[in-house]
Amino acid sequence: MPQTQRLYPYNFSSGLHLRLADPYDPSDESHMFSWGRAATGGDDAESFDLRADREWKSLHVELEAHLSEEELGRLLPKGSALERETALVVSVRCPTTKYRHAVKLTPSAGGVWKGDLLLARRDLRSRVELQPRLIRTSTLPSAPEELASHVFAIVAEGRPVRLFLDDVDRPIRGTVRVMWEDFRSSTNEWKKRHHNDLYFLEISDEMPILWLNERHVSLRAVLHDKSRKGINAGLQELMNGWLAEVVWLQLFTSSVGAIHFEPEVDEVVAPLGWRRDVLKAFVAKMYPDLQDETAWLRKLAELWRSPDEVGDLTSRAATVVQTIVRSQQRFTASLRAVEES
């Protein structure tokens, strides 16, 4: 399957691998971190989930980066003084608090660098990304043309390791909470004004809430009916499918609209939390060839802003929604439920 790749004008390696070990809180060494691999990491980065851990103040971890000696030989001239001419830096970034610092690791054995990272919780929110990079620290005026020669050139990079710190980065499963309310007595003026509606989707950075209108007693009766056959069972199947379709489409449009895109400077930043997960799920089905996150974010943002193409984008999204919701199967099931009554 084709993938978007960045082409470097010199030998470059993406084979750098960063490992984190032995987490502890120096301000409370008795604190045991719940250091679980995150379900949200997906296939693009290693992730650790600290969301359930709300007690820590600082986090110390050991960092170890690896790059095979064979790769190193391809990136640097023979006889290079690794310590003098290069540096292994881990770029530590927290998008929410705009925290960006570098930690320099020390060369250990061949192709291995080690160091320590100390993070203060007061500086961070939502998530942190750690990206390892091997960079040149000096120019190489007489370098062969296939080798990077400028100072601070990135010669090797690894996939970022992500630490999820807060609940705003929720996995896609369980994205929407369902609540009942009589819209006539809602504190939300909009809902109150539209008190005959069946539902209202409240979208926020936290978990979106699907509000169902308790005023419609029959709606509740249908959606809560336990029978597997009959009119109610058929209606329930259809109603669930219909609501799910509407909700998913709204989540998608809200997520595309939240992509921060500056075409003038070619800057594109993914939305945080559930929105990013929603987009990933849709893109995998809409544009399976686009695997690089920056590429698909840019594509979505461009389509969204194009009067000619936004229609196609939403049509494709509606197709994906039907797949996610299994609309056809639901329709068949509803027919069967009614026929078997």
Partner 1 sequence: MSVYHLPVKTFDRLPDTMFAGAPFPDVEKLREPYSEEALTSEFQFDGELVQRIVDKGLDIYEDKNELDGWLAVRLHNAIRAPRRLAGDKRFWAWVAVEFAQKYVQMRFSDAGGQVHRWRYTGELLRNAVARLWWGAEMVRDGPSYDLVPVVFARVRTAQFALELKYSWFRPAAMAFARVVEGHDGGARLTDAEMKALSRKVNAYLSLTALEGFGIGMEGEAYDQAWWSSNVTYESLVEGKIEGPNDGHVDAGAVEQLTKWFRELAA
Q: Which is closer to partner 1, CB of 81 or CB of 265?
A: 265
Place of tokens 């608090």: 97
Q: Which is closer to partner 1, CB of 99 or CB of 304?
A: 99
The 199-202 sheet, strands edge to edge: 177-181, 209-213, 199-202
Please state, in angstroms and rounded to a whole number, the distance separating the CA atoms of residues 305 and 142: 47
Q: Does 37 bind partner 1 (CB under 8 A)?
A: no
What CA–CA distances, in Å, run from 319 to 83, 199, 230, 286? 54, 22, 29, 9
Tell me how far, at minimum, the Cβ of 48 lies from partner 1, in Å: 18
What value, to the nearest 5°, has the Cα angle with vertex 83 and ends 82 and 86? 65
Q: Does 254 bind partner 1 (CB under 8 A)?
A: no
CB 166: neighbour CB atoms within 10 A?
16
Q: Does 126 bind partner 1 (CB under 8 A)?
A: yes
Contact between 158 and 15 under an 8 Å Cβ cutoff? The reply is yes
Q: Which of 32, 151, 178, 335 binds partner 1 (CB under 8 A)?
A: 151
Tell me how far, at minimum, the Cβ of 128 lies from partner 1, in Å: 11
Q: Does 192 bind partner 1 (CB under 8 A)?
A: no
Q: Buried b / exposed e across 305-316, counting CB within 10 Å, b at 16+?
A: eeeeeeeebbeb
Residues in contact with partner 1, shown as a per-residue x/- string from 199 to 238 under the rule CB under 8 A: ---x-xxx--x-----------------------------
Q: What is the DSSP string of 162-216?
A: EEE-STTS--STT--EEEEE-GGG-SSHHHHHTTT-SEEEE--SS--EEEEETT-
Q: Which of 28, 69, 83, 262 binds partner 1 (CB under 8 A)?
A: 262
Binding to partner 1 in span 1-30, by CB under 8 A? 6, 8-9
Q: Does 143 bind partner 1 (CB under 8 A)?
A: no
Q: Which residues bind partner 1 (CB under 8 A)?
A: 6, 8-9, 54-55, 57, 87, 89, 91, 93-94, 96-104, 118, 120-126, 133, 135, 137, 148, 150-154, 187-190, 202, 204-206, 209, 262, 264-267, 269
